[in-house]
Amino acid sequence: DQQVKQNSPSLSVQEGRISILNCDYTNSMFDYFLWYKKYPAEGPTFLISISSIKDKNEDGRFTVFLNKSAKHLSLHIVPSQPGDSAVYFCAASARYNRKLIWGLGTSLAVNP
Amino acid sequence: GAVVSQHPSRVICKSGTSVKIECRSLDFQATTMFWYRQFPKQSLMLMATSNEGSKATYEQGVEKDKFLINHASLTLSTLTVTSAHPEDSSFYICSARDSEGTTIAQPQHFGDGTRLSIL
């Protein structure tokens, strides 16, 4: 059973516009959420995280929003750049073991 | 930022060979490191959690005798694929978390992965 779901396998956005990547989770014990970016044949690169005590965290062009009641988080990238084209993974962990549970990823293509 | 170095980046070898992959945290200490495997077009699959100074914790379905993990220091964990066969060909990735991150949430930082091809 997929505890972390990224329902959109791919997303295409025009350069300069906003990219919104979505993630849903089922385990109410999750209290820490992360977004990673991954290029082919490379390890994931940490982008941004959010603790369950917050509903928003911002870092430059990247903002993560957390809606605990809906068990939903999203990553906003604005403005989107061609270099942002990659696979984005959402991951979650719970305090009791801090093991990361991963979504299946969303492939983002930013078109010039 | 935190850097994790994984070596080698690519290995091609004959069936029956044992292959060792190293994972080092370069600018922080990691009591816990993680080993993942990624199949084409799939997400990362956690294989095992490597704990410094103690035995690794393996995920269900992962053979501990096949995938030997050693975490002898706070900056180094190794994964040895013993007697590798073609079905072991995959992309193996390690990650490490700062030693502060047991109860305090900290991100895992990843190496660049090892592409293992068994002929």
- CA count, 13 A, side-chain hemisphere, B91: 18
Of A46, A99, A105, Cβ closest to residue B43: A105
Instruction: Please report the pLDDT score of residue B85 as a whole number.
Output: 94
Tens of pLDDT, residue by residue over A9-51, are: 999 999 999 999 999 999 999 999 999 999 987 889 999 999 9
Instruction: Please report the pLDDT score of residue B40 as a whole number.
Output: 78
Instruction: Please report the pLDDT score of residue B100 as a whole number.
Output: 60
Residue to mutate among B91, B108, B117, with most A CBs inside 10 A, is B108
Instruction: Please report the pLDDT score of residue B107 as a whole number.
Output: 85
Amino acid occupying residue A17: R
A112 reaches B (C-beta below 8 A): no
Q: Which residues of B touch A98 (CB under 8 A)?
A: 32, 97, 101-102, 105
Greater confidence (B100 vs B46) lies with B46
- Taking CA–CA distances from A42, the nearest residue in chain B reads B112
Instruction: Please report the pLDDT score of residue B103 as a whole number.
Output: 54
Q: What mean pLDDT value characterizes chain A?
A: 94
Point out the least confidently predicted range of A18-32, A55-69, B36-50.
B36-50
Instruction: Please report the pLDDT score of residue B118 as a whole number.
Output: 95
What average pLDDT does this structure show over B38-48? 85
Q: Are B114 and B89 in contact (CB under 8 A)?
A: no
Which secondary-structure segment (H or E) carries A14? Answer: strand A10-14
Quick check: A79 pLDDT over 60?
A: yes
Q: DSSP for chain B, please give it.
A: ---EEEE-SEEEE-TT--EEEEEEESSS--SEEEEEEE-TTS-EEEEEEEETTSPPEEPTT--TTTEEEEEEETTEEEEEETT--GGG-EEEEEEEE-TTTTTS----EE---EEEEE-
Q: Which residues of A touch B60 (CB under 8 A)?
A: none
Instruction: Please report the pLDDT score of residue A26 as a whole number.
Output: 96
pLDDT > 70 in chain B, percent: 93
Q: Are B114 and B11 in contact (CB under 8 A)?
A: yes
Of A34, A41, A95, Cβ closest to residue B107: A34
B118 reaches A (C-beta below 8 A): no
Residue entry with tokens 């010039």: A112
Tens of pLDDT, residue by residue over B70-105, are: 988 889 999 999 999 999 999 999 999 877 655 556
Instruction: Please report the pLDDT score of residue B1 as a whole number.
Output: 65
Instruction: Please report the pLDDT score of residue B14 as a whole number.
Output: 95
Q: How many CB atoms lie within 10 A of CB B26?
A: 11
